[in-house]
Structure 1
Amino acid sequence: MTERVALITGISRRIGIGAAVARRFAAAGYRLQLSGLPGYDDAQPYGGDPDGVPALLAELTEVTGDPDAVRYQAADLSSPSAPAELVETAVRGHGRLDVVVAVHAYSTHTPLGALDAAEIDRHLVVNVRATLLLAEAFAAAFRAGSGGRLVLFSSGQRLGPMPTELAYAASKAGVENLTHQLSPLLMPKGITVNCVNPGPTDTGYLAPADRDALARLFPGGEWGSPEDAARLVEWLCSPDGRWLTGQVIDSEGGFHRYA
């Protein structure tokens, strides 16, 4: 896997899925272009990670042994130009781009009876439009002929309702549909397209009591970890994942939505 280059979006907190993917990729010899929007997490109830980005970069640089192997660029994916700019930055900085892992997401409280048009639009812009533009820019920049990987992220909205996150659920349904639409278009270019639903993942966003209650809905009594999702992403992006495309993979550890 030496000299492969990956762009990973949605990184600002060290406890996040994007950071876990970056750690596995760094250990596997990838060169990395990372991106995120720390201010978004800072504004959430669970709070941000003020030292997250510099600490993660230092950690990954120690793993790679190369200060130029890991780069970071903050980006607001609500900007129409941001996806293409990220791809261009990755190619300019590392000479090529083999993998895009789109972990970014926008989510706020959007229940029926309190829907706001601007909030619906922002969900669709960040979660769907930015993902589609990333795919287009990646396809245009990809030159290897084979081994390309586009990994998207879903949230299991096919498997049960999300009554307080209607805009988020609708946007993630769009991401899943993009998986099916893009896969036959990108496979001839040498790029597989798959989508991971990691299920409830312990990234520190719930209060302890809520976290413990949700853990009881897993047969094993424990949440999924960011590393669980990262292992699957690493496999999808490895040579062993070459024949899998157009799939939405529910990696939820037996989570019971209706228990």
Structure 2
Amino acid sequence: MPTPPRPAPAELRRDPLPLRGRTALVTGASRRAGIGHAVARRLAAYGASVYLHHHVPHDAAMPWGADDPDAVADSVREALGAPGARVVPGPGDLADPTEPARLVATAVKEFGRLDILVANHALSGSDGALDDIDAAMLDAHWAVDTRSVLLLVQAYARSRAALPPGTPGGRVVLMTSGQDLGGGMPGEIAYALQKGALASITRSLSTTLVERGITVNAVNPGPVDTGYATGEVHAAVAERSPAGRWGAPDDPARLIAWLATDEAGWITGEVVTSEGGFRH
């Protein structure tokens, strides 16, 4: 088998807008304190147009409360790096099995095609330890955390199938967690189960889609300070990091944005842990 040629010097120079002309859908990008918002800002700064999915009722029911979707979108627009690139926010309840296909179709209609899918959303709450969980909790997490992600990937892959062969930029990034590290997540059985399923299916999805020029990877961002922990819990987690702090949303966002670029085209089927050396 022939060896790929060495890159020319010009190819080694980093393009400041490596996603110029590309389009992205980022789910769960509903709070300026969240990972989805940070990912969207990075993608926008790299030149992409971004569709921001949000589900305000979910956040409104959580202790941290909801953010203003228009303010989130404005924050991402401030980071736009390429002339003509756009940011479009839109709602969607991904517990509805018809919503993933509708969401992808909406993004494709808005931008003409969809290059990058970052499935960042997840259900918070409605969980517990082994003795606390019930069928309703398991079903709720399955519907949002796993079923909707697979249906999003399916709809995304079908949308890419309509593009000319060799169209560059096909990228899928899933979000997993630390469910298989250290002591696991014994207090969040339903969540850990579904996040484990995403990590497990990453390799199968990557093998399925490699012939279409689509890479599929999963990222475990570790403990990221998105406003859900305070007090002693916050301090205890920080103490277990060599840096003495939680991850910031932009820490995993830099990795995810890089995985969306052509530089990461050889990386697929991987579960990448980005925890800053966190000691489980």
What TM-score does the superposition give when structure 1 sets the normalisation length? 0.94
Q: What does residue range 19-58 of structure 1 map to in structure 2 within 5 Å?
A: 19-49=37-67, 51=68, 53-58=69-74
Highest Rg: 1 or 2? 2
Are the aligned partners of 2:178 and 2:185 in contact in 1 as well (CA < 8 Å)? no
d(CA) in 2 for partners of 1:75, 1:218: 35
- What do residues 180-224 of structure 1 show as CA deviations (whole Å, max 9, x unaligned)? 110001111010000000000010101133211110010111111
Q: Deviations over 1:163-188 (max 9, x none)?
A: 11001000001111121110001111
- Change in Cα spacing, 1:67 to 1:119, as seen in structure 2 (3 Å) is farther
C-alpha RMSD of matched pairs (Å): 1.5
- TM-fit CA distance, 1:239: 0.9
Cα offset, 1:68, TM superposition: 7.4
1:206 aligns with 2:214: no
Runs of 5+ consecutive residues of structure 1 not aligned to the other structure? none
Q: Does 1:181 align with 2:198?
A: no
| More divergent stretch after superposition (206-215 vs 98-107) | 206-215
Partner of 1:129: 147
Shift of 1:96: 0.7
SS of 2:177's equivalent in the other structure is coil
Contact 2:22–2:169 (Cα < 8 Å) also in 1: no
Does the Cα contact within 8 Å between 1:107 and 1:165 map onto a contact in 2? no
One-letter code aligned to 2:189: L
**Kept in 1: contact 2:47–2:85 (CA 8 A):** no
Aligned residue identity for 1:154: T
SS at match of 1:195: strand
Q: Give the % identical residues.
A: 47
Q: 2:267 aligns with which of 215, 231, 244?
A: 244
Residue matched to 1:162: 185
How many angstroms apart in 1 are the aligned matches of 2:221 and 2:87?
25
Query: Which residue is 1:85 aligned to?
Result: 102
Query: How many pairs align?
Result: 255
1:47 CA displacement: 2.4
- Listed as ranges, the gaps of 5+ residues in structure 2 are 1-18
Partner secondary structure for residue 26 of structure 1: helix
Preserved contact between residue 77 and residue 83 of structure 1 (Cα < 8 Å): yes
